[in-house]
């Protein structure tokens, strides 16, 4: 099964991609995650992407397209994949269509994560992680049960993403509205779009996704 998760930053795509990919035993591919690793490594890709990412801008298409090309042709994607954060504009979507047809694959479903902007801002600006195990917390919605101690691994080492702050949030949402939202129409026209009410808790969103995916498995 080949899936795209489409939605604004903070809509919960990353969390759901990891959970659903595990359940379906397919590959989660997050361009944001791959780019953040390249930045930590200070590779050529990382160095060139860093300033775009820190200011909330999109990294040039050719950089992310070559990342995706490498991922999709790898053996890890044999069973299928979930694309999280790609495509981000119509040009990237067209490139993806070309790439997939060359390797004899197609997208089965595009899940569109719907959340109001007011919630998105709090989800992004309040988001932080446990540095040891990656558990995700939020200053507005989900603090650790014991102050400054991770619920999962008891570490007291937390961090936030460099681009998760009030300054870049509005820029990221503006870019989302301008260049990513047109993808909703693009995939609607192709009869691939399914909306998900992503305001609900992560557990409820996951239940909904898993139900839809399992039903469509049975139909195929």
Catalytic residue among 105, 161, 200, 218: 161
Shortest distance in whole angstroms from residue 158 CB to ligand AMP: 18
**123 lies in the binding site for ligand AMP (CB under 6 A):** no
Enumerate helices (H) and strands (E) in the chain, giving the number of each: 9, 8
Shortest distance in whole angstroms from residue 19 CB to ligand AMP: 16
**144 lies in the binding site for ligand AMP (CB under 6 A):** no
Please say which residue, 24 or 59, places its beta carbon nearer to ligand AMP.
59
**9 lies in the binding site for ligand AMP (CB under 6 A):** yes
Using the rule CB under 6 A, which residue among 4, 29, 58, 72 binds ligand AMP? 58
- Reported as half-sphere exposure (CB side, CA atoms, 13 A), residue 36 has a value of 12
> CA 71 to CA 139: how far, in whole Å?
34
**121 lies in the binding site for ligand AMP (CB under 6 A):** no
Residues 6+ apart with CB under 8 A from 111: 3, 4, 5, 6, 194, 195, 196, 209, 212
Shortest distance in whole angstroms from residue 38 CB to ligand AMP: 10
Q: What is the DSSP string of 172-213?
A: HHHHIIIIITHHHHHHHHTT-EEEEETTS-HHHHHHHHHHHH
172 among known catalytic residues: yes
Binding footprint of ligand AMP on the chain (CB under 6 A): 9, 31-32, 35, 52-53, 56-59, 64, 85-86, 88, 92, 163, 172
């Amino acid at each position: 099964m080949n899936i795209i998760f489409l939605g604004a930053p903070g809509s919960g795509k990353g969390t759901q991609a990891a959970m659903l990919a595990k359940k379906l035993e397919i590959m989660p591919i997050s361009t944001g995650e791959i780019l953040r690793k390249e930045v930590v490594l200070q590779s050529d890709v990382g160095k060139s992407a860093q300033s775009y990412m820190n200011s909330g801008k999109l990294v040039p298409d050719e950089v992310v397209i070559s990342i995706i090309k490498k991922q999709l042709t790898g053996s890890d994607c044999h069973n299928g994949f979930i694309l999280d954060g790609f495509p981000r504009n119509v040009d990237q979507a067209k490139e993806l269509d070309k790439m997939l047809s060359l390797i004899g694959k197609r997208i089965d479903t595009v899940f569109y994560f719907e959340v109001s902007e007011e919630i998105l801002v709090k989800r992004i600006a309040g988001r932080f992680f446990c540095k040891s195990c990656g558990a995700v917390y939020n200053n507005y919605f989900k603090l650790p049960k014991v102050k400054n101690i991770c619920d999962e691994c008891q570490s007291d080492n937390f961090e936030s993403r460099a681009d998760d702050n009030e300054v870049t949030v509005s820029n990221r949402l503006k870019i989302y509205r301008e260049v990513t939202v047109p993808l909703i129409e693009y995939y609607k026209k192709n009869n691939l779009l399914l909306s998900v009410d992503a305001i609900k808790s992560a557990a409820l969103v996951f239940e909904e996704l898993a139900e839809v995916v399992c039903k469509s498995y049975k139909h195929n």
